[in-house]
Amino acid sequence: MRRTTRSLLTAAIAVAVLGVTACGGTSGGDGPAARSIDTSNGLVIDGETIADQALWEKAKGGNVSLATALTEREEKVITEQFKADTGIALDFVRLPTPKLFERAVSEKGAGKLSFDVIRVTDTTAAEEMAKNGVFGQTRTPFDDQLRKDGALDIGGGNFVSAFYAIYTFAYNSQAIPSASAPKTWENLLDPSYKGKIGLVNPNGSGYNTALTDMLIQDYGDRYLKDMQALGPRIFDSVSVMGTALGQGELTVGLMGANSALSLAEQGAPVVAVIPPDGVSAGYTPFGITIKGAENPAAQVFVNWQMSRAGQSKLGPLGLAPARSDVEPARMGDAVLPKPGDPNFTLFTTADRQQRQAAVLATWNGIFRYTG
């Protein structure tokens, strides 16, 4: 259990809790940011080389096709910035990870793969696509940094983690005054939340499995048992739970920071909390396909996404950068944790292989889930 170590780290964090709401100037939808862009010798953005001269000459005027499991809101902000930075056209198709997986594998089998780059939200699905030959070799000029920060080696060279989904909790600010809002994971066990907490079933959800693992590792089975005793509502998707939270049917919901921010941007009284005792970080697999490997513009997109320029738009979307050398990602008034921070808990590939089955078995037993 990591509780003792985490407690010591928590004491060292200067800002205990940062509530996050949408307000003017904090949304990722403010438009592409101004950059220092130099194309006299390749593509250099804010002093960092995205493409050398040879790659840049081949990529200019090209087009990239992207299949993504991110929300349209998030992907639009990211890809619009890429187009503004590079002048390269990019079109994306948005599909849930299971449907994206089925389509990519089917197209690959028929020899008609239509996407240059793929972004999904589940590592297992990405691994299966790699086994089916969908991905090519995904390499960037920043691989040493990505390896150091844990984003490179998850895909055996086929894909990287484009960034991290941060899973935490959020509350309804009309139901709970900010002065008495929950600030830590232990606060969620207050009896006043009985019947008013929302959880997403982690079976089939890598991000929610990662969150469940963090809670077990930090607090033991006791935490889940105490939460189950409060009679939480169990949902199959964060979208349905988020609606219930925004409408006041729930007072607290365990969810991604990006989902909470999206609800707030839509006018829901939802505030995400970045607790000092840790948030769960989940991979977002991202890689170039065998089709994209033949497209220089696709390589530029992959390079750009993993550059400082590509990572800098993530904070306002509620996503954490894959690189620890990128400036802290801000979401409203909050600074999201990133690799290396004491309250950044990554559910690694090794963790998943070693503990996923046990984590789900524990959750299923405590919450009496039979599938």
Within-domain flag for 209: yes
How many domains is the chain built from?
2
Number of C-beta neighbours around residue 293 at 10 A: 16
The boundaries of the domain holding residue 175 are: 3-24+167-279+343-366
Question: Do residues 120 and 204 share a domain?
Answer: no
Confidence of residue 249 (pLDDT cuts 50, 70, 90): very high
Of 327, 283, 331, the closest CA to residue 308 belongs to: 327
Residue/partner pairs of 150-153 with CB below 8 Å, 24 or more apart: 150/339, 150/346, 150/348, 151/283, 151/306, 151/322, 151/323, 151/339, 153/349
pTM of structure: 0.87
Residues 6+ apart with CB under 8 A from 344: 164, 278, 279, 281, 320, 337, 338
Q: With beta carbons less than 8 A apart as the criterion, state whether 265 and 316 touch.
A: no
Residue 111: its pLDDT value, please? 96
- Looking at the domain assignment, is residue 30 inside a domain? no
Report the chain's mean pLDDT, rounded to a whole number: 90
Question: How far apart, in whole angstroms, are the C-alpha atoms of residue 23 and residue 185?
Answer: 25
Q: What span, in angstroms and rounded, lies between the C-alpha atoms of 259 and 140?
A: 29
219 and 81 part of one domain: no
Position 25 scores a pLDDT of 34
| DSSP secondary structure letters along 112-170 | ----SEEE-S-HHHHHHHHHTT-B-----TTHHHHHHHTSSGGGTTS-EEEEEEEEEEE
- Tell me: do 64 and 54 sit in the same domain: yes
Same structural domain for residues 243 and 103? no
Q: In this structure, are 240 and 360 located in the same domain?
A: yes
Rounded average pLDDT over 23-44: 72
